[in-house]
Amino acid sequence: MEAPLASVRHAVSVRHLSKSYGSTRVLDDVSFDVRPGTCVALLGGNGAGKTTTLKCLLGVVPFQGDIEVEGVPVQSRGKDARRQIGYVPQIPAVGEQDTCSDALSFIAELRSVGADRVGWALRMADLTAQARMKVGELSGGMRQRLALAAALLSDPPVLLLDEPASSLDAQSRRELHEMIARLRGEGRTIILSTHVLDHLERLADQLLILDRGRLAFDGSVGELSSRVRGNRLVVNLNGNSPRDFMQALLVAGIGAERVTSAGLPWEEMLLAASTSDPATQEERS
Amino acid sequence: MNAVITLARKEVREAVNSTWLIAYAVLFTLLALGLSYLGERNLGSVGFENFSRTTASLLNLCLLLAPLAALTLGSGAIAGDRERGTLTYLLSQPLDRWELLIGKYLGLAASIALATTLGFGVAGVVIALQTSAMDLGTYLLFLALVLALIVVMTGIGLALSVVSKSRVQALGLAMLVWFVVAFVFDLVLIGMVSATSMHGGGLLAALLLNPIEIVRVLAIIQLEPDLQILGPFGSYLLERVGRTNATVILSAALLMWMALPVTVAAWLFESRED
């Protein structure tokens, strides 16, 4: 691991991060810190800015503001910052025609890591038996494990995972969560972008909720629960569907973002409520 | 620099494992053999021609096929990665953007060059065994010119790939460029020469704008002692410019063309929001 530029208090530090694509503002003045050895869940709906945040942390797109990873400024020393990061993309992006072993060897070479780490990574991902199999022949869960193994090849202190569980079945998702918990236990800092919220209360030390490019919440699961408790909305739909009720609210100019059906999981209820403005919350029954 | 070599090696490895490289090499071999054989038959005696005639016959065909292959493959590089989602993943590794681009560029150019050399090499050995008159130097020089053209066109293809939003768009642009440099340019030039008083220097300057024409004229200068095939322009080159000076000017332009597209591609790639 490369020595950081200055004394590191945070594994990741983001200050006034803004990013626009053309005239569209995707991130707007986002600031947060991540303590070393913690797992952070980056939450938000589609278009909230989760993937863009990860791209900025990796320094693969230009941005406004300051980001430091393990004390290394991303904007001026992107290549060095990326040495501190292992990245697992949403769609595991290694060559379909490569064998697992070749795919890992390629990343190992790019990261100037010895060939012995390839064997370690295959064992760590429980893919030793699949070493000669082509990546395209692997199941979704195996591919995700391979991507995670590739990210860990150079033993980086920070891991970025972009929606890693989105295409996995329940069993593979459980295995992935167990692996993430194990990595956090080893002292690695993990930033996990997701909209799948199950097991989050056990995995994440810190939640970051993005809403249309702005940071709507930064705190623990417990803090989010206590904040939402006082703002809970109870709605009697009188037999109407939630969709019809939302439409009616929209027509009335109230806005539908605070409405969730009673059948939704508690996590989604929290998410919906936390991204609305508490000052304008109303109780309806 | 390690990253550049790693990426280039991966491109070559992928190319060797793909069917296109073998198909391309076989096509070139068959064309080299076929053109030589058929050329002799047209002269009345069936058999293989020597190297000089073979290279002359192959010239026009190569100036069409090699740029097409290089442009097509170059155009698919970055645009393909962008479409498959692998570009962000590659960029997330500890490497600079220019390293990714140059690595891919070198790997692609080496792959196409390898296939071309393989095709010509097999044909060269067969022709050498069948004919008594050998002009190996000319044959190798011609191969070197085609390889230089491949390097130029791979760079242009890569630049198109960088600016394109999709692989299809990149391929479309590549085909358009190929059509212009391989066909339209000649027609425009002929039209301009007919319609204006453009001769000699003006024509030479215009030719420098098209790498295919540079290679064509360079090859003719090496193959033909009197440059009659170039008509009045050949006379101008011999009498006013001189064979050596013309070779130097054209070679310098070719070197410039080898460097320019990939430099532009690297500059454009640096400012992309991929």
CATH of the domain at A213: 3.40.50.300
Running along chain B, 274 residues long, what does each successive block of 10 average in pLDDT?
91 84 81 71 52 66 88 92 89 95 96 87 73 68 91 97 94 97 90 77 89 92 76 78 89 96 95 79
Q: Does any domain span residue A7?
A: no
Q: Do residues B53 and B39 touch, judged by C-beta distance below 8 A?
A: yes
Residue A282 confidence class, pLDDT cut points 50, 70, 90: very low
Closest CA–CA distance from residue A205 to any residue of chain B (Å): 25
Tens digits of residue pLDDT in A152-202: 999 999 999 998 877 777 777 888 888 888 999 999 999 999 876 666 777
Instruction: Check pLDDT > 50 for residue A4.
Output: no
Whether A177 and A257 share a structural domain = yes
Contact A107 B93 (CB under 8 A): yes
Whether A101 and A126 share a structural domain = yes
Domain termination residue (choose one: A155, A175, A192): A155
Whether A251 and A161 share a structural domain = yes
Q: Does any domain span residue A103?
A: yes
Domain termination residue (choose one: A135, A155, A175): A155
A89 Cβ under 8 Å from any chain B Cβ: yes
Q: Is the pTM of the predicted complex or chain greater than 0.95?
A: no
Whether A209 and A174 share a structural domain = yes
Count interface pairs A-B at CB distance under 8 A: 58
Instruction: Check pLDDT > 90 for residue A144.
Output: no
- Interface ipTM: 0.81
Beta bridge mates, A211: A214
Q: Does any domain span residue A236?
A: yes
First to last CA, chain B: 22
Whether A167 and A243 share a structural domain = yes
Whether A97 and A212 share a structural domain = no
pLDDT of residue A96: 80
Question: What's the number of domains chain A is made of?
Answer: 2
Query: Domain range for residue A137?
Result: 92-155
Closest CA to B274 of B155, B100, B156: B100
- CA A181 – CA A165 distance, rounded (Å): 14
Domain termination residue (choose one: A107, A122, A155): A155
Helix (H) and strand (E) counts in chain B? 12, 0
Whether A44 and A168 share a structural domain = yes
- CA B159 – CA B181 distance, rounded (Å): 16
Q: Token pair for residue A104?
A: 């890992």
Whether A99 and A118 share a structural domain = yes
Whether A244 and A259 share a structural domain = yes
Q: Does any domain span residue A184?
A: yes
Whether A216 and A137 share a structural domain = no
Whether A117 and A175 share a structural domain = no
- CA A236 – CA B218 distance, rounded (Å): 84
Whether A126 and A220 share a structural domain = no
Beta bridge mates, A208: A42, A218
Find how far residue B4's CA is from the centre of its chain. 22
Q: Which of A94-108, A262-276, B1-15, B55-69 has the lowest mean pLDDT?
A: A262-276
Interface test with A, best of B4, B6, B88 (most A CBs within 10 A): B88
Mean pLDDT (whole number) for A30-53: 92
Nearest 10 degrees: Cα torsion B187, B58, B38, B21: -110
How are the residues of chain A apportioned to helix, strand and coil, as percentages rounded to the nearest 5?
35, 20, 40
Q: Does any domain span residue A1?
A: no
**pLDDT: is B121 or A1 the higher one?**
B121
Q: Is residue A217 helix, strand or coil?
A: strand
Contact B91 A60 (CB under 8 A): yes
Q: Does any domain span residue A6?
A: no
